[in-house]
Structure 1
């Protein structure tokens, strides 16, 4: 009788009841299996795989740990609706910003579940996804969801009923950008199902939606920008509007500025947060949109002057408010110190445009105006990328491709004038002893 070696005894680990089993398959991979909580309060045996014993065991431990917390495992035999709900509540909520998670939730409940929710996760095909997207391209969303028909009759008294409330379709279809967004949400959910080895592949990746055209924006021209800066003089939030146009900061970044973020002596500002309204916390300071959005920028001298004046004005408001002042620390606040609602800022902005007799644009178009005017002045793309806080320079190049194309045409025209002048002067006699230059024929 032979004694087993230490190596063979080490490979046969004794695991406690409920920890599952781990063993090596004939193909060399490792497989781990164990019982976890399933939907309906039942328990189900699941199998996970890995290239090493440690990897397979880590995957099984993660599933058992989630099961012990009361999170049921979603199997491929369940419906896509069940998996999407599980993904939103247990996966996406931990990896997305709250505002992004809110948008994802709306997409799932308004479009994905009604269109594909009854499909089995394991049986979902690329054809199903393509058919669903094609239907969304052709149907009127007002008629599909009964938007106008569900309106309060008292609210319709002041607004003429439209679309399905009258039985006449308005043909309000989803834009290509919205369709691409819906498709990306579905791809993200199915990608996690692949990582958890619930399905072998992400069928949504096999569906091509095409590259949608970027949203059109209406930046201010140089003359309009000067007219806008003249109009904001004397406004209580003049420093905010000037800062928006001269630096290209986002609305949430402007409203999220604290006085401690500004160094007016050195003329710099640190962008650390964004102010947004969320469903759970109300109006709150959140992390910036991306890591690259957290940045330090130089402030124009005129902005430093207007910010000093704004600080003095705010000190007067604090003195007048007395005990009712709310010390939030924000640079731009209401007259009682509370932070400003983004929607309130939009109303102030629209009123300024009307008073200045400027065409209506979005507040975000001030940011586009900054980048466009800088590009037209010959500022390098990488400098604009750092100022705007884009994650990649490709984003800057894509968004402002039309401006760069116009600048290229201007450069080509300048070169054409230079070459034309060169041709004209080359035919004139030279004072030197050399014969005049003649252009070579082009073959």
Structure 2
């Protein structure tokens, strides 16, 4: 009589649901069993190993994942194939056109060259981290062969590397694009988990900006006097509106009687529709703000100037309804506004800054005047107060130093001789009787 110990390993019986393990004719070991598949169905999978223990371990791992509710991956294609599908069939319906264009360029320039040939179902977090580390340390002129399109060789082709590497913000953006694509693959049950989410990149430092000081802001406002768009620049500096929000402002959005403005849209140029009005950047960006008294006067003057331009244009006037237009009534391009802004900076002999720095200048000056952070968050239209706190952390730190200095001055103040430590109006604190 044989005992289970005497039975060969290939003939031992396994419990129901544990699968089967046997040795093939080529001396490899094969294990097969049923696991969870997409659509809440069951699927028989096969794994292989050089020994019975190796094959059994692979099968046990798949069965354990199935018992936790993770279906077996159904993706058989490459990362490049899936990213192409995701961009053309999924992301195009959920992203703005300009955002989709940036996503497409990011996938074409960075993701596909580095990970495109990998199998989607077999992509690991280690491979993603290794690829990101290579992006961080690789010169992009060399990696993208930019010397091939130049008349004269430069960088590595000339033996001198320019070390043009991706910035931490760009690297974080590339990582976020890959995470978004793989997250949709998880939702479609193509892969069991998002391996890109397990890779930690660290929080990049916010982009440095140079806001105008109080004195520089006054000089800039003086330089805008007489300009046909002086009301726009004053509104940008006093309220912190974005460039697209200013250009997309309509007269119907202004309530001059109650001194308020409703921010409902942004004006942007897209590849398909040209200059067009789009929804605001986020739901929080659609807001109602109070208008300063100075902006009310400048807007009234601007409306009178626009009426004169309408009469001068005659039949050639384009009734677009926008507050800030060209002399013929057509909306203003963002690049045109930037050109006027740079000309004003040169006229005022101010250092060159971006137009968006007017928004940062408004928030910085408000913080320095002691305005609460939540009020600034509502005025700027940030989605979360953490965004406002992070962007203007350096300003808050300076205010903390001022507060600490005030406390230090109070602590250094000595009491006048002959004065009591308290005014004596309050009764002395004594122990209450215990009953």
Taking only aligned residues, the RMSD between alpha carbons, in angstroms, comes to 2.6
Measured after TM superposition, the shift of residue 149 of structure 1 is 4.3
The answer to whether the 8 A contact 1:146-1:164 is kept is no
2:193 to 192, 196, 201: 201
Write the deviation string for residues 343-395 of structure 1: whole angstroms up to 9, x where unpaired: 11111111111111111111111000000000000000010000000001111
Aligned ranges for residues 223-372 of structure 1 at < 5 Å? Answer: 223-372=215-364
2:40 — aligned with what? 31
Measured after TM superposition, the shift of residue 174 of structure 1 is 0.3
Measured after TM superposition, the shift of residue 425 of structure 1 is 2.1
Is it true that 1:384 corresponds to 2:373 in the alignment? no
Aligned length: 363
CA distance in 2, matches of 1:318, 1:162: 53
2:128 — aligned with what? 129
Write the deviation string for residues 382-410 of structure 1: whole angstroms up to 9, x where unpaired: 10000000001111111111111110110
TM-score by length of structure 1 reads 0.78
Measured after TM superposition, the shift of residue 143 of structure 1 is 2.4
Q: Secondary structure at the match of 1:425?
A: coil
Change (3 A) 1:355 1:324: same
TM-score by length of structure 2 reads 0.79
State the structure with more CA Rg. 2
Q: Secondary structure at the match of 1:293?
A: coil
CA distance in 2, matches of 1:163, 1:264: 58
Q: Secondary structure at the match of 2:146?
A: coil
The answer to whether the 8 A contact 1:253-1:274 is kept is yes
2:116 — aligned with what? 117
Change (3 A) 1:264 1:416: same
Change (3 A) 1:419 1:332: same
Change (3 A) 1:382 1:433: closer
CA distance in 1, matches of 2:421, 2:102: 75
The answer to whether the 8 A contact 1:194-1:201 is kept is yes
CA distance in 2, matches of 1:363, 1:433: 55
Change (3 A) 1:217 1:30: closer
CA distance in 1, matches of 2:266, 2:423: 68
The answer to whether the 8 A contact 1:133-1:179 is kept is yes
Change (3 A) 1:163 1:314: farther
Measured after TM superposition, the shift of residue 431 of structure 1 is 7.9
Change (3 A) 1:256 1:199: same
CA distance in 2, matches of 1:114, 1:30: 33
Q: Secondary structure at the match of 2:120?
A: coil
Q: Secondary structure at the match of 1:211?
A: coil
Tell which deviates more after alignment, 253-262 or 95-104: 95-104
1:43 — aligned with what? none
CA distance in 2, matches of 1:148, 1:360: 32
The answer to whether the 8 A contact 2:80-2:115 is kept is yes
Aligned ranges for residues 418-433 of structure 1 at < 5 Å? Answer: 418-421=410-413, 424-426=414-416, 428-430=417-419
Measured after TM superposition, the shift of residue 337 of structure 1 is 1.1
2:88 — aligned with what? 89
CA distance in 2, matches of 1:334, 1:256: 13
Aligned ranges for residues 52-63 of structure 1 at < 5 Å? Answer: none
CA distance in 1, matches of 2:297, 2:127: 59
Q: Where in structure 2 are there 5+ consecutive unaligned residues?
A: 1-33, 43-65, 68-72, 425-435
